[in-house]
Structure 1
Amino acid sequence: MGALKYMLRLVSQNLGPVSLALHQAANLYTKSYTNVNHDMRTNGEFYLLDKLARFDVKTIFDVGANKGEYTNACLTKFLKARVHAFEIVPETHAKFISNVRSDRVIINNFGLADRSGTIEINYNPKKDGLSSLIEGTDINKGHWTTRRVEIRCGDEYCRANDIKSIDFLKMDVEGAENLVLLGFFEMLRGNKVSIIQFEFGMINIYSKFLLIDFWKILEGHGFRLGPVMPKGVDFMGYNPRNENFQGPPNYVAVHSSRPDLIDAVRLK
């Protein structure tokens, strides 16, 4: 093994064509192995919905609803569910309305955060799905502008709409997931949310909200967490080695009071 490591080191550090080819192949393998994949059809997100379809899912929150692909998938999988969708960017909100036609959807033209009011969001007309409340990022290149948009607190929204519990809370808000979670403090404290899905990636470098912070908050509220893989959720304890911003883009937390849900979506 020592000789093999020595030979690999020599090849990898000579920076020649063989070294480059091996690096590219290893990088591709690593991304596939760790499920660095944003295609919901193959990265496990739609598989997760399939596994949950046999349960009585009635209330879904799609926070960061974008153009409506995820909401439409939920409508197909959960025939009795009502989806509360939130799309904060006016232009993207208009696309959602064009793509989603159902009386089981309540579409809101504001976002959810830790307070109610207005805020500036970074918006790119060519990549509107990457719009973010997080400032100072240079991850996604392009021409960015700002929009003054409305935000509301999740707990306030639930009180105003007489929502007693949330079966599935999906968050895809480009680094502002922690703000959304803080806005649901009362719902989380009261064990009123069964499943939470959130994104994690390089933008969390700028939001300064890491996996350890997700684990602390959600485990503190009785959830079990793990990354979404193509064939289920790999529930695990916190591991600092996963703070590499290059792992699976989606994580799921299921409340420990629902062992039936945990078993249904667990990676087997």
Structure 2
Amino acid sequence: MIKEKLVGTVQRLVAKNRFGVAFSIKLREQCNSIIGLSLSSGIEPTQNGELLLIDVVAPRSRYFVDVGANVGNWSLMFADRMTHAKGLAFEPGPQTVERLRAALRGAGFGGIEVVASAVSDLPGTLRFWEEAGYGETSSLLSQHSHPDAKAVAVPVTTLDIEMQTRGVERIDFLKIDAEGFDLNVLRGAAGYLGGQRIRVLQFEYNAPWALAGGTIQAAFRLLEGNGYKVRLLMRDGLFIVNPAMAGEYFRYGNYVAYCPCECGELLEAGARPFDALFA
């Protein structure tokens, strides 16, 4: 009790000092960076666990969806490991989408349809900031994209709308890389998630989530509320984490979710407690 009172007194004194507040803000940023580094294995698919995940899921998949496909590098990796590649790739950037179509066509993946649209929780039209050179941080958020990015109006759709329109019964794997709008994409797939018609999914969590108003805890609530298990993807596999433990650190990382299914059971069998990362 005495210790708690002393800590409270110190906190109140620091809160009244502008230098103390400034230092606390800088300290919080450093702490977030440390937490982020502990929950990420980097951005390279061959090093961060993405390729291992693809190797498990792709051969067992009949239909996949790539939201934020850019020039198609991820789609090509996934499709190359499928028996008969079929799926849907979304890319809103007008220049980038042409490069994506050419890449898929050149690789002989005619079963993958390209949709020139952004994906969110509501259909409509939004400004998209497209970077030169098919930049991977092109985004619906101007603050996140490169300062030289050009704004262009793009159509916006939802996964529920697109899947229902095409009569897609089930998505075996959904990959989301929407530069901050990943949670919006998930909310726009509420119907398919509610029916567990998306077997396995992967989404990216990073700094632009804060700009878009998303939180990792909200993503966990949405997915777990629909019967999915959510795991952190790292170099050595999947790890069981409590999102409340780390809080909202807004640094790069990948999360995987799956419902009860063959692939889900296979992935869950290899999931380990977060503490195993430090063993």
Q: TM-score range by the shorter chain?
A: 0.7 to 0.9
Pair 1:180-2:188 in alignment: no
Aligned twin of 1:211:
216
Could you tell me which of 77, 83, 89 is aligned with 1:85?
Answer: 89
Matched with 1:17 is none
List aligned pairs for 1:31-110, cutoff 5 A: 33-55=38-60, 57-101=61-105, 102-110=109-117
Q: Deviations over 1:173-230 (max 9, x none)?
A: 1011122112111111111111111110111111121111111111111111121111
Pair 1:265–1:176, CA change in 2 (3 A): farther
Alignment coverage as a number of residue pairs: 238
For residues 182 and 45 of structure 1, the distance between their equivalents in structure 2, rounded to whole angstroms, comes to 23
Counterpart Cα distance in 2 of 1:238 and 1:217: 13
Question: Does the 8 A contact of 1:51 with 1:265 survive in 2?
Answer: no
Q: Taking structure 1 as the reference length, what is the TM-score of the superposition?
A: 0.80
2: CA distance between counterparts of 1:52 and 1:37? 21
CA distance in 2, matches of 1:221, 1:133: 27
Task: Give me the CA root mean square deviation.
Answer: 2.4
Identify which of 239, 242, 254 aligns with 2:244: 239
Q: 1:215 to 1:50 in 2, by over 3 A?
A: same
1:133 corresponds to: 140
Partner residue of 2:161 out of 156, 164, 168: 156
> CA offset at residue 31 of structure 1?
7.1
Counterpart of 2:253? 249
CA distance in 2, matches of 1:129, 1:265: 31
Give the TM-score of the pair, scaled to structure 2: 0.77
Question: Do the aligned partners of residues 40 and 212 (structure 1) sit closer, same or farther apart at CA in structure 2, a change above 3 Å counting?
Answer: same
Residue aligning to 1:191: 196
Whether 2:265 is the aligned partner of 1:260: answer yes
Match of 1:132, SS? coil
Moved more, 209-218 or 235-244: 235-244
In proportion to residue count, which structure has more helix? 2
* Matched-pair contact (CA < 8 Å) for 2:176–2:204: yes
User: Helix, strand or coil: the match of 1:239?
Assistant: helix
Match of 1:167, SS state, is strand
Q: Deviations over 1:223-262 (max 9, x none)?
A: 111211112111333334152223x521111114554233
1: CA distance, partners of 2:210 / 2:241: 22
Equivalent pair of 1:120/1:148 in contact (CA under 8 Å): yes
Letter in 2 for 1:93: V
In 1, Cα distance between the equivalents of 2:245 and 2:213?
15
SS in 1 for 2:200: strand
Structure 2 counterpart of 1:227, from 225, 229, 232: 232
Instruction: Give the 3 Å change call, closer, same or farther, for CA 242–233 of structure 1 in structure 2.
Output: farther
- Is the Cα–Cα contact under 8 Å of residues 51 and 264 in structure 1 kept in the other structure? no
CA shift, 1:264, in A, is: 5.6
Tell me, in whole angstroms, the C-alpha distance in 1 between the residues paired with 2:241 and 2:82: 27
- Say if 1:201 and 1:260 are closer, same or farther in 2 by CA, change over 3 A: same
